Amino acid sequence: MLRIKNLHARVEEKQILNGINLEVKPGEVHAIMGPNGSGKSTLASVLAGREDFEVTEGTVEFLGKDLLEMEPEDRAREGIFLAFQYPVEIPGVSTVNFMKTALNKIREYRGQDTLDAVSFLTLMKEKIKLVEIDPSLLSRSLNEGFSGGEKKRNEIFQMAMLEPKLAILDETDSGLDIDALRIVANGVNKLRTKDNATIVVTHYQRLLEYIVPDYVHVLYKGKIVKSGSKELALELEEKGYDWIKSEVEVA
């Protein structure tokens, strides 16, 4: 589904990604872990098409297409979803309105009919149940005055609505208490199918207790320095990132 080869990227003059290689297949969950400043969030942003980052080398193929050639909105329409670490506030625009606009833009791109009000509301009701979000939140201005947990839950709701092929969760666990974490993770798990894939970007092992990954990759200085199964996350938790750092330095 996603094939990243030798990806290098920088922001302004600072080189952040130094040759990432990663392959994600349908149905898989990959966790990207790493110390602060290792390039985790940059990788998420580059895949979503944020313009602040310049790709200097490498290729990314998504469902057989050259992802790096695509505009950010087209990447979304092709099925890439980024759950933001810091969801943005848009005053005066409700989540309902936002989702209706987004969903119809995506459907238009895919040559499907736009949804009328009734089918949209029916779909929304179904997803509200799935991710256990308070419906009153959805008619308020997007993310304005939301708590940290509400913002993250709203991201997962949006993910449920848009049904992406590849979801990238950028530090979705940051700022969440344990109950909120469980609800968010439950939502993500319910959305898993054999046809979609998830990349979970996180600093801590905690989230991975709830969203169980098939693979864990450790990012350090813009490179994947270690890959393994879910046990790698536990090992990391136990030994800390210094263990990886020293291992890399020795090598």
Partner 1 sequence: MSKDNQVLEEFTSKEYEHGWTVNLEADSAPKGLNEDIVRFISAKKNEPEWLLEWRLKAYRHWTTMKEPRWPNVTYPAINYQDIIYYSAPKQKVQPKSLEDVDPELIKTFEKLGISLTEQKRLTGVAVDAVIDSVSVATTFKEKLGELGIIFCSFSEAVREHPELVKKYLGSVVPPNDNYFAALNSAVFSDGSFCYIPKGVKCPMELSTYFRINAANTGQFERTLIVAEEASYVSYLEGCTAPMRDENQLHAAVVELYAMKDAEIKYSTVQNWYPGDKNGKGGIYNFVTKRGLCAGDHSKISWTQVETGSAITWKYPSCILKGDYSSGEFYSVAVTNNFQQADTGTKMIHIGKNSKSRVVSKGISAGKSQNSYRGQVHILKRAENARNFSQCDSLLMGDQCGAHTFPYIDVENKSAHVEHEATTSKIGEDQIFYCLQRGIDEEAAVALIVNGYAKEVLKQLPMEFAVEAQKLLALTLEGSVG
**Cα distance between residue 164 and residue 142, in whole Å:** 20
Instruction: Look up residue 123 and give its two tokens.
Output: 């779909």
Q: Tell me how far, at minimum, the Cβ of 166 lies from partner 1, in Å.
A: 13
Nearer CB in complex with partner 1: 71/249: 71
Give the C-alpha separation, 189 to 204, whole Å. Answer: 18
Residue with tokens 């990238």: 168
State the minimum distance, in angstroms, from the CB of residue 36 to partner 1: 21
Candidates 105, 140, 206, 230; binder of partner 1 (CB under 8 A) is: 105
Report whether 149 contacts 175 (CB < 8 A): yes
Q: How far is the CB of 33 from partner 1 (least distance, A)?
A: 23
Q: Is 140 in the site for partner 1 (CB under 8 A)?
A: no
Query: Which of the residues 34 through 53 are near partner 1 (CB under 8 A)?
Result: 48-51
Q: Rounded CA gap, 165 and 81, in Å?
A: 8
Residue with Cβ nearer partner 1 (1 or 48): 48
For position 111 contacting partner 1 by CB under 8 A, the verdict is no
Residue that is written with structure tokens 């313009």 in the block: 51
Q: Which residues from 172-211 bind partner 1, rule CB under 8 A?
A: none
**β-bridge partners, 31:** 200, 216
CA distance 17 to 40: 9
Among 106, 124, 176, 244, binds partner 1 (CB under 8 A): 106
| Residue 90 engages partner 1 in binding (rule: CB under 8 A) | yes
**Helices 117-131 and 148-162, axial angle in degrees (round to 10):** 130
**Contact between 84 and partner 1 per CB under 8 A:** yes
Q: Which residues bind partner 1 (CB under 8 A)?
A: 48-51, 71-73, 75-77, 81-82, 84, 87-93, 97-99, 101-103, 105-106, 109, 141, 158, 162
